[in-house]
């Protein structure tokens, strides 16, 4: 563990329960920020999603405040917390936080240095701003699905991970917040951040979008090197039914692969469109002759850009990832011990001992409120009125 985590001293109030905003606060917590998850008391939670105990890394290293923000005392207490925080993250529909009295203007009124991040699917304005959506919708609107692989019926394939939520939204928001904190340190000025997940998908799609805008050339799956036009960048089945990923883009790597497979005749035809069907057919026959892991052992060390296509059950047992300490132990007060993904982003640190994670429904409401000067009498009044549990 680092002696002082990167974001030590940064307090984040996270009003989300799931989705991009929660992905963002997970990143900030792994870099050492004090993240306080803010949600309603259990009996007033309404349709708020309560994720499984293991999700979002079991909310390790986070604290929880349960408070009714629709009540005047609840709003006032939240603003007292916000006055001493550095970051607020919310994921309500556009305008909802402001109507509740906890929007950027409200928080800025008590803390001019606040970095206030709103995460939505399509942004705070524009024709789609009030559309409901999820990961798949944002990938669709941003062009990602149309550029991806195809199902048997010719339609776009469902992605295997929530790419929009985790990266186009969560990482996008975290990067924006970190940049705003750096600016605030230099200027003492806070900032409002309008994080659109769909805009984050556009950033992912910058290569094909910029190609189309600059040249007018048609873009789509199978039309360029990275989307399946050439045999050197594709997936191949091995004898045991498992798959290999081949990414031999550079001519030297392609030559190494062809030579290793006994297919030297194709070295000079890597980008010859007229020969791609023949090259693929030969690659398929060659890879089908041996099991996946046999090929990996032979080819991966020889600069061929060949790797195994792992199932999740194989990922978590991979020798390289385990050597890199990609997985850690956690201990839940009700569910016992289990493994989870470690903080794997550069600059984060895993603990020497298993993480102790609590029940997501448990809260430290009274302690957190007392820390910002809310009196025991005030807390008791809020408890009687159902504002806090």
- Residue 241 sits at the vertex; the CA angle it makes with 324 and 249, to the nearest 5 degrees, is 60
- Condensed to tens digits (0 to 9), the pLDDT of residues 295-329 reads 999 999 999 999 999 999 999 999 999 999 999 99
Helix axes 197-204, 206-215, angle to 10 degrees: 70
Whether 14 has a pLDDT exceeding 70, the answer reads yes
Tell me the average pLDDT across 14-34: 96
Q: Give me the catalytic one of 14, 106, 165, 234.
A: 165
Query: Which residues, including other chains, have CB under 8 Å from residue 124's CB and lie 6 or more apart?
Result: 94, 118, 194, 196
Is residue 197 within 8 A of residue 162, CB to CB? The reply is no
Whether 47 has a pLDDT exceeding 60, the answer reads no
| Token pair in block for residue 338 | 């289990």
Identify the CATH number of the domain defined by range 11-203+330-384.
3.40.50.10540
- Listing DSSP states for 363-388 in one string gives --HHHHHHHTT--HHHHHHHHHTTS-
**Better-scored residue on pLDDT, 285 or 362:** 285
- Reply yes or no on whether 68 is catalytic: no
CA atoms of 383 and 376, how far apart (whole Å): 10
- Reply yes or no on whether 332 is catalytic: no
- Condensed to tens digits (0 to 9), the pLDDT of residues 181-227 reads 999 999 999 999 999 999 999 999 999 999 999 999 889 998 899 99
- Condensed to tens digits (0 to 9), the pLDDT of residues 93-105 reads 999 999 999 999 9
The CA distances from residue 317 to 28, 240, 310, 314, 327, in Å, are 27, 19, 10, 5, 9
Please give the mean pLDDT across all residues of the chain: 95
Query: Which residues, including other chains, have CB under 8 Å from residue 187's CB and lie 6 or more apart?
Result: none
| Token pair in block for residue 129 | 């701003």
Give the pLDDT of residue 93: 96
Q: Give me the catalytic one of 125, 134, 240, 367.
A: 134
Q: Let me know if the fold of 11-203+330-384 is the same as that of 225-237+243-308.
A: no
Taking the mean position of all CA atoms in its chain, how far away is CA 332? Answer: 23
Is residue 115 within 8 A of residue 87, CB to CB? The reply is yes
Domain residue spans in the chain? 11-203+330-384, 225-237+243-308
Whether 10 has a pLDDT exceeding 60, the answer reads yes
- CATH class assigned to 225-237+243-308: alpha beta
- Identify the weakest region by mean pLDDT among 36-45, 62-71, 77-86, 289-298: 36-45
């Amino acid at each position: 563990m680092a002696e002082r985590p990167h974001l030590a001293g940064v307090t984040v109030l996270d009003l989300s329960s799931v989705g991009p905003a929660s992905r963002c606060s997970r990143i900030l917590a792994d870099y050492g920020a004090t993240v306080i998850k803010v949600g309603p008391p259990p009996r007033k939670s309404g349709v708020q999603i309560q994720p499984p105990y293991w999700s979002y890394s079991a909310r390790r290293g986070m604290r929880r405040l349960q408070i009714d923000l629709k009540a005047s005392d609840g709003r006032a207490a939240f603003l007292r917390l916000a006055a001493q925080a550095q970051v607020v993250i919310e994921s309500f529909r556009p305008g909802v936080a402001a109507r509740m009295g906890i929007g950027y203007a409200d928080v800025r009124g008590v803390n001019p240095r606040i970095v206030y991040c709103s995460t939505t699917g399509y942004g705070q304005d524009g024709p789609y701003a009030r559309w409901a959506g999820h990961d798949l919708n944002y990938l669709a609107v941003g062009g990602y699905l149309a550029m991806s692989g195809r199902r048997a019926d010719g339609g776009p394939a469902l992605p295997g991970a929530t790419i929009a939520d985790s990266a186009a939204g969560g990482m996008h928001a975290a990067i924006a917040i970190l940049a705003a904190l750096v600016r605030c340190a230099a200027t003492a000025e806070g900032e409002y951040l309008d994080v659109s997940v769909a805009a984050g998908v556009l950033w992912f799609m910058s290569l094909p979008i910029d190609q189309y805008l600059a040249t007018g050339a048609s873009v789509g799956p199978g039309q360029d090197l990275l989307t399946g036009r050439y045999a050197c960048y594709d997936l191949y089945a091995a004898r045991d039914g498992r798959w290999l990923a081949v990414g031999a883009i550079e001519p030297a790597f392609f030559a190494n692969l062809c030579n290793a497979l006994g297919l030297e005749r194709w070295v000079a035809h890597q980008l010859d469109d007229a020969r791609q069907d023949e090259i693929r057919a030969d690659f398929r026959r060659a890879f089908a002759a041996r099991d996946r892991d046999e090929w990996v052992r032979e080819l991966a060390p020889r600069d061929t850009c060949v790797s195994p296509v792992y199932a999740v059950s194989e990922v978590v047992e991979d020798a390289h990832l385990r050597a890199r300490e990609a997985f850690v132990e956690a201990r839940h007060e009700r569910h016992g011990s289990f493994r989870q993904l470690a903080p794997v982003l550069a600059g984060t640190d895993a603990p020497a001992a298993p993480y102790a994670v609590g029940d997501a429904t448990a809260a430290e409401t009274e302690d957190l409120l007392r820390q910002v000067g809310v009196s025991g009498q005030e807390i008791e009044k809020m408890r009687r009125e159902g504002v806090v549990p």
